[in-house]
């Protein structure tokens, strides 16, 4: 296993390129299963998660070629189930269910189960498929979804934490080839859902309202091949912006979308960090001392849960009390005990983390528990005095493209080493 060895205390300076979005790319890759014609998807980030998705598409019978950020997929003839060993590695693989159901009228997928950040049920995905006329059976750890035909329907997809991103994506993909009109109420409004809808429309689908809580899909008989460029990764951009703020640096993030980052920019501004749009880039710089604030994670356009851990790391450096409330995933505070090893003072009270910030952090060995928690530990390590070893960075490689190389280009002293 590999680790990052970080020598902290160096302000980040320079320019960094924003990679394509992982969470937009995964469902878009799955959507290529909806046609037997070739699809070309550009700006696909090279990550272990996107590589898993390529393997899943191949195991379903598609041919795929992934090089230089461009993925060409042709799903000429496919089968309706994926190997358990592949699917279990990545929860995002659930988004193959919608396309398989639409194209083959059957999908057999292993139940994803919980993960370290929370329970992660798929009841809303299944509710959507059932509304379209599918029969669902759960047996031996698998979900079997079958349908004689799929028919458009009006459905409410809101759950206990609000909308579901992959649930909306899955049902939208199942509905594009259904008979008649589907209306998804309480749909997720995330930019990744809009990007998927754009790709589906380029393939010949008829979708309106993506980006709002009501999405309308008029079924068509057939989809064709298409080309698409994935949107920039707003979570990666936010992570680099926070790293620059934490180290009192000044960086330019090339190709980042300010319009996808309003809630993050607003909170960074409150914390004393300036984020300016300069053409297609974002310029990030701290304006003096960091200030404490409060953050509550919410579905888009609220503050993203995927940036909560990184923001918690930043607030450990802001003198005063900050309160971070997690409303999407119930146990997404695994980074807190590891941040404490660097000297952070954080208490968990129900769904909130209370950060008493301002104590200097000092380097220590820490363990990454999940993707965004790993990013928080890297940020804290960059800001801490001395050496920090972040172990188990395979979590990080799932969702950040060459993070160590990008940080080194910004002046960070960070090395990838074999874990001892």
Instruction: Give the range of 137-145, 164-172, 202-210, 273-281 binding ligand EPU by CB under 6 A.
Output: 164-172
411 part of the interface to ligand EPU, by CB under 6 A? no
311 Cβ contact partners less than 8 Å away, ≥ 6 residues apart: 242, 264, 267, 295, 303, 324
| Secondary structure (3-state) at 74 | strand
- Residue closer to ligand EPU (CB basis): 370 or 404: 370
- Residue closer to ligand EPU (CB basis): 329 or 333: 329
**Residue 110: closest CA among 134, 86, 78:** 86
Instruction: Give the range of 102-110, 113-121, 335-343, 353-361 binding ligand EPU by CB under 6 A.
Output: 113-121
Is 189 in the active site? no
Window 16-35: residues binding ligand EPU (CB under 6 A): 23, 26
Contact mark string toward ligand EPU, 301..330, x via CB under 6 A: ----xx---------------------xx-
CA 292 to chain CA mean position, Å:
26
- Residue closer to ligand EPU (CB basis): 143 or 384: 143
119 part of the interface to ligand EPU, by CB under 6 A? yes
123 part of the interface to ligand EPU, by CB under 6 A? yes
CA distance 330 to 19: 29
- Residue closer to ligand EPU (CB basis): 145 or 165: 165
Instruction: Give the range of 70-78, 161-169, 261-269, 400-408 binding ligand EPU by CB under 6 A.
Output: 161-169
CA distance 41 to 31: 11
Q: How far is CA 23 from CA 311, 399, 414, in A?
A: 20, 9, 26
**Residue 361: closest CA among 386, 336, 337, 378:** 386
CA distance 172 to 210: 10
213 part of the interface to ligand EPU, by CB under 6 A? no
Q: Is 221 exposed, middle or buried (0-12, 13-18, 19+ CB in 10 A)?
A: exposed
DSSP state of 313: H
Q: Are 376 and 339 in contact (CB under 8 A)?
A: yes
Q: Are 32 and 65 in contact (CB under 8 A)?
A: no
- Residue closer to ligand EPU (CB basis): 248 or 401: 401
CA distance 35 to 193: 19
CA 275 to chain CA mean position, Å:
22
122 part of the interface to ligand EPU, by CB under 6 A? yes
Window 352-371: residues binding ligand EPU (CB under 6 A): 371
Q: Provide, rounded to whole angstroms, the least separation between the CB of residue 100 and ligand EPU.
A: 17
- Residue closer to ligand EPU (CB basis): 376 or 384: 376
Instruction: Give the range of 63-71, 156-164, 313-321, 356-364 binding ligand EPU by CB under 6 A.
Output: 156-164
Q: Provide, rounded to whole angstroms, the least separation between the CB of residue 37 and ligand EPU.
A: 25
**Residue 56: closest CA among 34, 23, 24, 78:** 78
DSSP state of 409: H
55 Cβ contact partners less than 8 Å away, ≥ 6 residues apart: 86
Using CB under 6 A as the binding criterion, the count of chain residues that bind ligand EPU stands at 26
Catalytic one among 95, 115, 189, 201? 115
164 part of the interface to ligand EPU, by CB under 6 A? yes
Instruction: Give the range of 117-125, 143-151, 249-257, 342-350 binding ligand EPU by CB under 6 A.
Output: 117-125
Binding site for ligand EPU (CB under 6 A): 23, 26, 92, 118-125, 159-161, 164-167, 188, 305-306, 328-329, 371-372, 399
Residues annotated as part of the active site: 115
């Amino acid at each position: 296993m590999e680790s990052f060895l970080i020598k902290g205390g160096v302000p980040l300076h320079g320019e960094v390129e924003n990679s394509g979005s992982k969470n937009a790319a995964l469902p878009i890759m799955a959507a290529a299963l909806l046609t037997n014609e070739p699809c070309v998807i550009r700006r696909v980030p090279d990550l272990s998660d996107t590589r898993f998705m390529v393997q899943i598409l191949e195991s379903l019978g598609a041919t795929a070629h992934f090089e230089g950020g461009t993925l060409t997929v042709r799903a000429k003839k496919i089968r309706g189930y994926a190997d358990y060993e592949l699917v279990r590695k990545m929860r995002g693989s659930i988004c193959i269910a919608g396309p398989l159901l639409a194209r083959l009228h059957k999908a057999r997928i292993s139940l994803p189960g919980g993960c370290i950040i929370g329970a992660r049920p798929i009841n809303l995905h299944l509710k959507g498929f059932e509304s379209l006329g599918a029969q669902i059976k759960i047996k031996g750890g698998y979900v079997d979804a079958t349908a004689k035909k799929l028919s458009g329907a009006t459905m409410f997809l809101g759950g206990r934490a609000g909308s579901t991103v992959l649930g909306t994506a899955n049902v939208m993909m199942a509905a594009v080839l259904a008979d008649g009109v589907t209306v998804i109420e309480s749909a997720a409004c995330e930019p990744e859902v809009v990007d998927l809808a754009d790709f589906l429309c380029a393939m010949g689908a008829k979708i309106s309202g993506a980006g709002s809580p009501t999405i309308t899909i008029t079924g068509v008989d057939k989809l064709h091949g298409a080309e698409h460029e994935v949107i920039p990764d707003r979570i990666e951009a936010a992570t680099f912006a926070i790293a620059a703020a934490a180290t009192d640096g000044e960086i330019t993030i090339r190709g980042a979308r300010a319009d996808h980052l309003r809630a993050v920019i607003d909170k960074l501004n409150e914390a004393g960090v300036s984020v300016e749009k300069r053409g297609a880039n974002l310029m990030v710089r701290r304006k003096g001392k960091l200030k404490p604030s409060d953050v509550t994670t919410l579905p888009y356009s609220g503050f993203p849960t995927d940036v909560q851990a990184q923001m918690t790391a930043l607030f450990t450096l802001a003198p005063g009390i900050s309160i971070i409330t997690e409303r999407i995933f119930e146990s997404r505070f695994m980074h807190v005990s590891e941040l404490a090893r660097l000297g952070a003072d954080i208490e968990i009270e129900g769904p909130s983390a209370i950060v008493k910030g301002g104590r200097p952090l000092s380097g220590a060995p820490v363990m990454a528990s999940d993707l965004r928690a790993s990013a928080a530990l890297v940020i804290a390590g960059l800001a801490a005095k001395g050496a920090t070893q972040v172990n188990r960075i395979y979590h990080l490689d799932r969702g950040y493209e060459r993070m160590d190389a990008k940080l080194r280009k910004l002046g960070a002293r960070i090395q990838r080493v074999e874990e001892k």
